[in-house]
Structure 1
Amino acid sequence: MEKASKKKTRNTKRSSEEKMTKSNETEVETEGPNFGEHITYDVLRMIFEYSTIRDLSRAALVCRSWNEAAKKEKQTRIWPRHFLCNFEPGEANHHSSRSIHDDLFIDPCIGLVFFGRHLKSPIHNLEFWVSDCLYDHLSRRINSITIWNYGLMYDGIEKSGNVVCGLFLPEIPGVKIRLFSMDMTDIKNFRTDTTQKIRDKSARELCGISPDEDNIKCIMFFLNQNEDDIVANMLNIKHILKSFHRTKAEAPNSPAKIALWGGMSLNMRAYVGATGDKNCTETAAVAGISICGSGVSTWSIVLNYRIRTKAQVEKELTTFRDAVKLQKHSVGFMFACCGRDEKWFKERHVESTIFRKLFPNIPLVGSFGGGEIGTSTIPHECSKGILHEYATAFLIITYGSVRNTK
């Protein structure tokens, strides 16, 4: 009996100690402020303004209120994001594809990436890009085009070599942005001996545009020089583009001019994230981006081979600036002939520098190629036609609320 009594006493003491321990743990857990109760929704939004997209995605997993605040913050971020990176190992400003992703403050849905290269070297950075693909780190929803060419430009600086620049756009209210690609079969099968109505319908299908879409603003169109039959089928390509660009004499009831912009690349990859496949290693004969909707405006101009001096460039781009009506968010693109370099103007960075001087708040990215595609959305005598040589094509995409730029 005495042993049973001692055993019962020990069990009671142990039970009491366990209760005391649990009580102390509870007190420790509840000490200090309860941040979940004291951080209001408005405070969360203020904090999230300084968070990258990666951090916002993590914060959204905390609880329902954080998820809502993070989601609303993402929806406000509709500005473009452009970047310039040096991929040369050992350089002081060396970057990785991962670093581009980690610095993003927007959730991109479409991207356009340009590689520069040395004129006498092979496309040596192709293998690097595939091995450290940027799209391995981005959302599966993003669609993008990667272009290799003779050089690139970024905010007034023209470069070649193992560098890359690019631009991402998020989803924009009232705007439909679609990536499209074509193989040589699509181009060869485009019928040029039919009525204009049938050609227009076929061209819309190839460019991912609905047949009843009546608010087409821009077609960005790129050709892959690496495809053997691309030059032999230029007539069909011209007819595809002409479906989106006809003069008033040809189509008196046509709506406002559609901006066409692009050119020839040395090599090209199209990445369609919606499929879930990493198919950016597949080449495309033709790839592009169509932009439609009432929430965006586009402006373009072509400086052809007659524009040969710095004064002429400034005059033409000043006329362009005076015609453009900018909105809250804008981005500029430039596609120039590789021959329009310092040998053409007797100095470097002429056209890109003048553009940045006239549009100081607009980011500029682009490429130097061997053939240009472009139309002018403003009255302009020096840029008739669609396909050009020794020319430079500029494009401005602007969206958001209208602002006074004068």
Structure 2
Amino acid sequence: MEECVADEEDKVDCSTSTPSTDFLTSVYDVTRGIFRHLPIRSVDSCSLVCQSWAEISRFTKSHRHTIHTLTYPPDPLSSTTICSNLLHDFDQFIISYINNSLWSIPTLALVVSTNILASKGFYSSPHSPPPSKYTETSNLTRITERFDISQALLRHLNKSCKMLTIAADGIIASTENHQSNEIESDDAIGILFLPHFPPNVLGVYPFEIPSNAQIASDMSRTELHRFLGSVPDDVSIRCVIFFFVQRQSYAVGCIKKLLEYYPSEIAIIGGFVDKISYDDRQIHPTRTSYDACGIVITGDKKRLHIGEILLENHIRTREQIRDKLMKLKDLECDHSISFAIQISCIARGSNYYNDEQNVECSEFRKLFPNTPLIGVFGNGELGHDYLPNAKQIITKQQAGKNLFRGYSSVFTLISLHL
């Protein structure tokens, strides 16, 4: 995970809520200092003690902006790892993580899963009603329920947290200790938890596009914003992350409109995957088929820096990868936090690098040791070289030629300066 606590926390005036005596002020400061070292679940528990602790809890949570990543199972590429499909085991893993490691309240969970695990889901342990002297053991009923990934995870998250779930042949996932793996054939899940940020720093707008959506050629900028996650009209879109399940999708028309309204100041990344699912925690009376989903990123250019690099087919060595990734280093500075998205062609896995695993994500990790990284191996990629200081203009007519790729990898780094 990556953490940043606003400097204003140490400047807050507490005189309105605590007596002015030195002793009580010191107690308040000590308590606040202790709260700063507690995971979010413990902070919530402390808020129930008294009014003063409840106020400190609210203050503590409002100043936390921690980005988390985790992988299930924790060491997916180990020869001794067996991914349990029992719901009980997954529950225990998530509960332990939330209780001990979750630092901020998540507002969005981006979940990537290998197809093999997405198709299996999780199963509740067969259980039996309590035996009694009137019940014969042979007649006990055994019940097993299946939970898909979103059903299994949402049970543990706050009701305000939305979830975007992507299933693909392979995924890129990171542990809470910043170990990243490219997982091509094993059962595994990667999760990126994004907390709430001040809107002027980072706006996150998840969206989904129905299969029957029509992208009108005269769609206005306001309509486009509403279509892509209901982005406010007075806010500029900085980056869009797309996940498509259909190549011949009306959703592709969104890209042309984005490049029409943002010809030189937007990063676009995406991939063609096998399954998508978005849960905004609202009740939907009817089921709708969707061709695409994704995330719109907004934010002030002075505080939100976004860069994107493309590893094309001819880039095949670690040195070449490192040289290209170095172009993103300018986005980092002191007191910044960041996260990154990797979209790779399924053909750029270990076979591409003579059976060596984790080549591309490990080179990223050397340069960005503390940056949460998540991604997928897709059946086609969407991306381009986009660097804040480079002059580049991509017109609507060039969109298909310059953005849709094959046998490539795309890395997008999103860096926040708080």
| TM-score grouping bracket, smaller chain normalisation | 0.7 to 0.9
The equivalent residue for 2:296 is 290
Give the aligned partner of residue 372 of structure 2: 363
CA deviations on 1:223-244 (whole Å, 9 max, x unpaired) are 13xxxxx2333xx433311322
Secondary structure of residue in 2 paired with 1:157: strand
Structure-2 residue corresponding to 1:208? 229
SS at match of 2:348: coil
Contact 2:238/2:299 (8 A) holds in 1 = yes
Q: Give the secondary-structure state (helix, strand or coil) at the position aligned to 2:347.
A: coil
Whole-angstrom CA distance in 2 between matches of 1:306 and 1:240: 29
2 CA distance for matches of 1:278 and 1:191? 25
Question: Does 2:72 align with 1:56?
Answer: no
CA RMSD of aligned residues (A): 3.1
Moved more, 124-133 or 284-293: 124-133
Distance change (3 Å), C-alpha of 1:359 and 1:157: same
Residue 185 (1) aligns with residue 216 (2): no
Instruction: Return the letter of the residue paired with 1:293.
Output: G
Shift of 1:329: 0.9
Aligned to 1:319: 327
What SS does the aligned partner of 1:208 have? coil
Instruction: Describe how 1:16-165 pairs up with structure 2 within 5 A.
Output: 40-86=27-73, 88-89=83-84, 95-96=90-91, 97-102=94-99, 103-118=101-116, 123-125=119-121, 127-130=146-149, 133-153=152-172, 154=174, 155-159=179-183, 160-165=185-190
Aligned residue number for residue 247 of structure 2: 231
1:333 Cα deviation from its structure 2 partner = 1.4
Q: Which of 305, 310, 313 is matched with 2:318 structurally?
A: 310
Whether the 8 Å CA contact 2:222–2:233 is kept in 1: the answer is: no
Q: Secondary structure in 2 aligned to 1:165?
A: strand
Q: Which SS does the other structure have where 1:161 is aligned?
A: coil
Q: CA deviation at 1:282?
A: 7.6
1:46 to partner: Cα distance: 1.5
Q: Quote the offset at 1:305 in angstroms.
A: 2.2
Deviations 1:148-190 (A, max 9, x none): 111222343212422111111111112321111111112xx11
Asked whether 1:393 is paired with 2:410, we answer yes
Indicate the residue corresponding to 2:395 in structure 1: none
Say which SS state the counterpart of residue 245 (structure 1) adopts.
helix
Amino acid in structure 1 at the alignment position of 2:102:
L
In structure 2, stretches of 5+ residues that fail to align are: 1-22, 74-81, 123-145, 393-398
For residue 242 of structure 1, what is the aligned residue in structure 2? 256
Cα offset, 1:392, TM superposition: 0.8
How far 1:129 moved relative to its partner?
3.2
CA distance in 2, matches of 1:107, 1:136: 15
Residues 90 and 369 of structure 1: is their aligned pair in 2 closer, same or farther, counting only changes over 3 Å? closer
1:337-348, aligned counterparts within 5 Å?
337-346=345-354, 347-348=356-357
Give unmatched runs, 5+ long, in structure 1.
1-35, 225-229, 402-406
Task: Look up the equivalent residue of 2:378 and give its one-letter code.
Answer: G
CA drift at 1:338: 0.8
Maintained 8 Å contact 1:184/1:285: yes
Q: CA deviation at 1:351?
A: 1.0
Contact residue 164 and residue 276 of structure 2 kept, 8 A: yes
Q: Cα distance, 1:42 vs. partner? A: 1.0
Does structure 1 residue 217 correspond to structure 2 residue 242? no
Three-state SS of the structure 1 residue aligned to 2:240 is: strand
8 Å CA contact 2:237–2:266 kept in 1: the answer is: yes
* Conservation of the 8 A alpha-carbon contact between 1:117 and 1:163: no
Going from structure 1 to structure 2, the CA distance change for 1:130 and 1:212 (only over 3 Å counts) comes to closer
CA 222–134 in structure 1, closer or farther in 2 if over 3 Å, else same: same
Secondary structure of the residue that 2:340 maps to in structure 1?
A: strand
2:96 counterpart letter in structure 1: S
Deviation (angstroms), 1:90: 8.8
Task: Give the Cα–Cα distance (whole angstroms) in 2 for the partners of residues 75 and 63 of structure 1.
Answer: 18
CA distance in 2, matches of 1:122, 1:396: 27
Corresponding residue for residue 7 of structure 1: none
Q: Distance in 1 between matches of 2:151 and 2:95?
A: 8
How far apart in 1 are the matches of 2:284 and 2:120?
21
The offset of 1:278, in angstroms, is: 9.2
**SS, match of residue 352 in structure 2:** helix
User: How many residues are matched?
Assistant: 338
Residue aligning to 1:8: none
Distance 1:284 1:64, change over 3 A: farther
Match of 2:361 in 1: 352
Structure 2 counterpart SS, 1:261: strand
Which structure has the larger Rg over C-alpha atoms? 1
In structure 2, the CA distance between the partners of 1:231 and 1:178, relative to structure 1 (3 Å rule), is: same
Displacement, 1:209? 4.3
Cα distance in 2 for residues equivalent to 1:39 and 1:222: 51
- Closer/same/farther in 2, CA of residues 370 and 199 from structure 1, 3 Å limit: farther
Percent identity, please.
Answer: 25
SS in 1 for 2:186: coil
The superposition leaves residues 45-81 of structure 1 with CA deviations (integer Å, 9 ceiling, x where unpaired) of 1121222212211211222211110111112210211
Stretches (4+) displaced over 4 A = 36-39
